[in-house]
Structure 1
Amino acid sequence: METLQYLNQSGFDAVLTDPFFMCGATVANYLSLPFVFFMRGFPCNLHYEAAQCPSPLSYVPRGTSMNSDHMTFFQRVQNTLISLLESFQCNAMYQDAIKFSSEVLQRDITLLDLLNSASIWLLRYDFAFEYPRPVMPNMVFIGGMNCAQKKPLAKVCSFSQITHFQSSVISWLMDG
């Protein structure tokens, strides 16, 4: 509690946090500060549920289902069952975090209560690689933020070798 009192007196404007562990969201709620989630994804699609994004199970496949966005009836049933199982799994996984948050905030709180009070969701993936779905205005795709600088590709051949190869292919095509 000493740390929370110190943070409260420090006068922060906002909290930037990864929601996976819920500590940042708990601290932000305790200090009554707006908070920004910076994340790659969230188990059980909670980031879409908390932000109240439409995510119909008949059109948006669950990540663990290995289905495409064109599902048969049985794949849609499978998608729904996976969603229900994920819900139980997430509630079990975050049970201790919710208990801790309820103690710190001195009120009963749910996982979605913590998550849907986020001001902005910075999603560290490219929308082009995700299934098409509507997102809320406070969800911003910032793909590439997690990419490490890679070494340049090694030279395999010189420009003159490439030109010679191209001219050989062209003459082969013309003769053949």
Structure 2
Amino acid sequence: MAPAALPGLLPLCVCLLLTSGLAEAGKLLVVPMDGSHWFTMRSVVEKLIHRGHELVVVVPDVSWQLGQSLNCTVKTYKASHTLEDLNREFVRFADAQWKNQGQTLYSVLMTSARGFFETIFSHCRSLFNDKKLVEYLKESSFDAVFLDPFDMCGLIVAKYFSLPSVIFTRGILCSYLEEGAQCPAPLSYVPRILLGFSDAMTFQEKVRNHIFHLEEHLVCPYFFKTVVEIASEILQTPVTVYDLYSHTSIWLLRTDFVLDSPRPVMPNMIFIGGINCNQGKPLPEVSCLSLSKIGIIWLWIFKKIFLTEL
């Protein structure tokens, strides 16, 4: 987190999310993640475009849905893998989740998930290998980077160009949300996200919560090893995952405070409610007359049965 930059970033966040024509439009660099993450972020991107903000979306040339049908500038770069590679790794990852339910954090991060996420992580090296694109981004004078943190390339881009970063997420594995935002999360009261405990934990659950937190610190550095290597190579200095997340200026959390365990939050953590992949359809209208007719029918059936039995 960058406290010194926070007062200047809050008006930017309000400008991006709340105003419509009442403030000067901003220029935003968008670094999304493919799959369902993009369906969720796309609704916000389209709203920002509609409100007159200038957006540049940077995507690999191999993806499922990224950047399609957007009324803004979309810049692509050559990916190091094919669509078949992406499909194969995702199917392997998805199948493992169904077949091995209840598996440990180690088995999830180091086996089934690692291959898929390393394919995603490799995008960033490909982006910075495109020198023409990097020069374009450097000269474009963006106000901020709007990113999905699961890809993590947006974090590297923001740090490389020294831009404020706005994270759009439901949550982050491995305690990096709390550590990156410098947000207290006492383990005796705040359960880890994958355990499914409530805030009223038993003694045994509190012990398990502490052990799981220790597992995160042991396993997660190996899971993010590729990201750290790519980031250190691009930034020309040794970095850690914490270094990348701590650069975040605004955390837009796609959840509601009342749905999570009670916990302290920092001023730059903003709850924006749940945003689903598709816009929900309105409930059908039901008139009181229709309900009355249904009640009369049920009453007639009840009397018919009751009188018959008598």
Q: Specify whether residues 72 and 163 from structure 1 end up closer, same or farther in structure 2 by C-alpha distance, changes over 3 A only.
A: same
* Letter in structure 1 aligned against 2:143: D
Q: Percent identity?
A: 48
1: CA distance, partners of 2:196 / 2:160:
39
Quote how far apart the aligned CAs of 1:122 are. Answer: 0.6
For residue 243 of structure 2, the aligned residue among 98, 113, 117 is 113
Aligned length in residues = 169
* Letter in structure 2 aligned against 1:162: L
Map 1:23-102 onto structure 2 (within 5 A). Answer: 23-102=153-232
TM-score by length of 2: 0.50
For residue 159 of structure 1, the aligned residue among 264, 288, 293 is 288
Deviations 1:71-112 (A, max 9, x none): 222211100011111223321221101110011101010100
Regions of 4+ moved over 6 Å:
none
* Letter in structure 1 aligned against 2:291: I
1:7 aligns with 2:174: no
Q: Specify whether residues 72 and 27 from structure 1 end up closer, same or farther in structure 2 by C-alpha distance, changes over 3 A only.
A: same
**CA contact 1:120–1:138 (8 Å) conserved in 2:** yes
* Letter in structure 2 aligned against 1:133: R
**CA contact 1:17–1:24 (8 Å) conserved in 2:** yes
Quote how far apart the aligned CAs of 1:158 are. Answer: 5.0
Deviations 1:120-162 (A, max 9, x none): 011111111111101100010011333632233456x753242
Counterpart secondary structure, 2:263: coil
Larger mean Cα displacement after TM superposition, 145-154 or 98-107:
145-154
* Letter in structure 1 aligned against 2:162: S
Unaligned runs of 5+ in 1: none
2: CA distance, partners of 1:35 / 1:66:
30
Counterpart secondary structure, 1:36: strand
C-alpha RMSD of the superposition: 2.3
